[in-house]
Structure 1
Amino acid sequence: MAEKPAATAAPHSPPAASTAQEGQAKVKAGVVKMDDIARMAGVSKSTVSRALSGSPLVNEETRVRIQALVESHSYRVDTRAQGLRKGQTRTIAVVIPLLHEHDQPISDPFFLELLGHIADAVADHGYDLLLSKIGPGRASGMTDLVDTGRVDGLIAIGQSTAHLGLEQLAARNLPLVVWGAQLADQHYVTVGSDNRAGAERAVSHLIAQGRRRIVFLGQRSVPEMRLRHDGYVAALEAAGITPDPALDVPTRFASAAALTAMRSLLCGGASFDAVFACSDVIAISAIRALQDQGLTVPEDVAVVGYDDIQMAAFYNPALTTVRQDTATGGRLLVDLLFAQIAGRSARSVMLPTELVVRASSGTVSGTTPPAPR
């Protein structure tokens, strides 16, 4: 009887791969997802989520392992998806209410400087920024941004004539912070400069240079400008000077409008030896109008602006101006908004101003003042 062939040994089988190794083997080229990180780490997806959010429920060893996998595979958390799950857009709107359709464009140097600081602070929170210009009579556009679910909160740069619309937003407890003046009846949070004190200091400086006939160039219907006018009047009265209504010249913020207003004043034959302008853009337009008429600044007419935009130091003559702290202001606008988004209370902040004296305001006090025009 033939012998049965000897049984051959089965081929050696390697030990089963670990869960983590299996997970890594399944990751294909492309975008790594949280599911992939969970498989590679041998944990649940919820554990990965907790580890990445810093939850104390995940032990240190597991957290370190997950973080190493995240870094080695260049995994990025989908913050947009997280926001949608939490009912958030992770977007902040910056709106600019306008008094006039052609008033102060978004390209205005002061807007751009403040907007840059806001954008930096918003990015630090991991949020995006949406920029919107709201025309006159369209304050409802601010409400629409929130009601349509496009943003989590609003920052308004300036109140313009939108005070009532801002009050309506505040009454609904929507996250809102405004760069502007503090008004007696407001219920929304503001961050802004001490407009009255800044203007009073500027006009007092002109008076100290021997100037007596000082023009106010600005739009008093805007809350911030109204406070600057109050400071202008206070400085005159403190020096025993009666304000002259003929030197109270309204103008919009647009440079062309300011140029026209100043030219009209010059053509009207008014006597003046100084100009306090409510913004640097207005001040630069005033200097242009004066120079077009053959007048020199500051010899014939001294000029002081407001804002201290970057151009002010390089203009000829270099512009004396009231500096607003836009860096601190931009950060505070964002910090106070995120406090509201988190359900915490926030209070308005008024920032101090600084008078930056340059060539356009004339010589130091004690020299012979020019004769009034």
Structure 2
Amino acid sequence: MAVPIKMADIARLAGVSVSTVSRALAGSSLVPAAKREEILAIAQAQGYVINEQARNLRLKKTRTIGVVIPLGHEVGQLISDPFFIELFGRLADEITARDYNVLLSKIAKPEPGWLDRLIQSQRTDGLIVIGQSDQHEALNHTARTHLPLVVWGAHMPNQLYCSVGSDNIGGAYTAVSHLIRQGRRRIAFLGMADVPEVSLRREGYLRALAEAGIAADPALMEPAHFTLDTAYDSMRHLIDSGIGFDAVFAVSDVIAIAAMKALAAAGRRVPDDVAVIGFDDITVAAYSSPPLTSVRQDLARGARVMVDLLFRRMEGEDTPSATMPAELVLRRSCGAA
């Protein structure tokens, strides 16, 4: 059996030290380009295979980024949710473009200390958390001692962690203001306001109503979870209550699409009888029936910003949070051509 060639053998053949070979194989600019190419050619000719696991252990790096979805508020929501799929895909593209691997974790019913245990497992070099859920305090606690952490979500008062997200207040305000300009006065709100991003979207909804001189009616604020079945039931509950409404602002596209299905089942025409606007502008929004007007979150840009901030934090930089503008995309569900 042939004896595997070692780095020391490459060093002897190239007439350099073992440390120089190590740097050359890692692509270090400390080794002149000509010498680096010579060492790489010798290693290839001799059939030398780099032990990435051993090298990462020496460097105390895993070359892996963790993407975590905590679902303390929504245990029934699946990773296959269209919003998660789109954002995770964007993140994976950005992370793998930097030659890092991705480790995806869903944390259903997070228990105290879950985030610290995840970090202590040393399986990743940095963490991206998708959504604050009801874990704002846990994220704040961990951020005091763990720098390489970036969260997709709302920017909260007294927040210690770095977050990236959209202008939830502004996006909701623009959507509801558009409905009001279209002559809609009884606008229902669908969403769970105890989630940070949703709370801000509710604030934008209320601000638009107040500015138009429309009194907010608590009976029109219907709690709705982020899953199709539960959101459908919430819309049916509002319909069956007999309360009059001529528009719906849903805090996600999934909720909005379920609402349109429930309205159709009840014989309500969208947008003739009830106009509907969602939030996120996931790909399926443009292909729903009718096509859904939605507040677009730029997930491609968001993923790019999150990964950039995380890698800067992995280098020791304490980066600030970022809030991106949200854009209203008009389609037929609110009467737009």
TM-score, normalised with respect to structure 1: 0.85
Please give the residue correspondences for 1:54-203 in structure 2 after superposition, counting only pairs within 5 Å: 54-70=27-43, 77-100=50-73, 102-203=75-176
What is residue 228 of structure 1 aligned with on the other side? 201
Tell me the secondary structure at the aligned position of residue 113 of structure 1: helix
- In structure 2, distance between residues paired with 1:78 and 1:324: 41
Please give the residue correspondences for 1:1-373 in structure 2 after superposition, counting only pairs within 5 Å: 34-70=7-43, 77-100=50-73, 102-363=75-336
- Conserved in 2, the CA contact under 8 Å of 1:139 and 1:162? no
- In structure 1, distance between residues paired with 2:47 and 2:308: 30
Structure 1 pair 298–290 and aligned structure 2 pair: CA distance change class (3 A): same
Structure 2 gaps of 5+ residues are none
Deviations 1:55-79 (A, max 9, x none): 4543443223123335666765443
- In structure 2, distance between residues paired with 1:326 and 1:221: 23
Q: CA deviation at 1:338?
A: 1.4
Once structures 1 and 2 are overlaid, which stretch shifts more, 131-140 or 163-172?
131-140
Structure 1 pair 277–60 and aligned structure 2 pair: CA distance change class (3 A): closer
Tell me the secondary structure at the aligned position of residue 178 of structure 2: helix
Structure 1 pair 89–296 and aligned structure 2 pair: CA distance change class (3 A): same
Code of the residue aligned with 2:216 in structure 1: it is P
Deviations 1:250-281 (A, max 9, x none): 11111111111111111100100000000000
Deviations 1:314-356 (A, max 9, x none): 1110000011010111121111111111111211000111111
- Conserved in 1, the CA contact under 8 Å of 2:70 and 2:110? no
Deviations 1:212-243 (A, max 9, x none): 10000011000000000010011111111111
Q: CA deviation at 1:192?
A: 0.3
Tell me the secondary structure at the aligned position of residue 248 of structure 2: strand
TM-score, normalised with respect to structure 2: 0.94
- In structure 1, distance between residues paired with 2:5 and 2:186: 71
Tell me the C-alpha RMSD between the 2 structures.
2.1
- In structure 2, distance between residues paired with 1:56 and 1:254: 51
What is residue 14 of structure 1 aligned with on the other side? none
Tell me the secondary structure at the aligned position of residue 227 of structure 1: helix
- In structure 2, distance between residues paired with 1:76 and 1:228: 53
Once structures 1 and 2 are overlaid, which stretch shifts more, 187-196 or 104-113?
104-113
Larger Rg belongs to: 1
- Conserved in 2, the CA contact under 8 Å of 1:95 and 1:142? no
Structure 1 gaps of 5+ residues are 1-26, 365-373
- Conserved in 1, the CA contact under 8 Å of 2:286 and 2:292? yes
- In structure 1, distance between residues paired with 2:114 and 2:13: 48
Structure 1 pair 290–65 and aligned structure 2 pair: CA distance change class (3 A): same
Determine what percentage of the aligned residue pairs are the same residue.
53
Structure 1 pair 117–233 and aligned structure 2 pair: CA distance change class (3 A): same
Once structures 1 and 2 are overlaid, which stretch shifts more, 69-78 or 346-355?
69-78
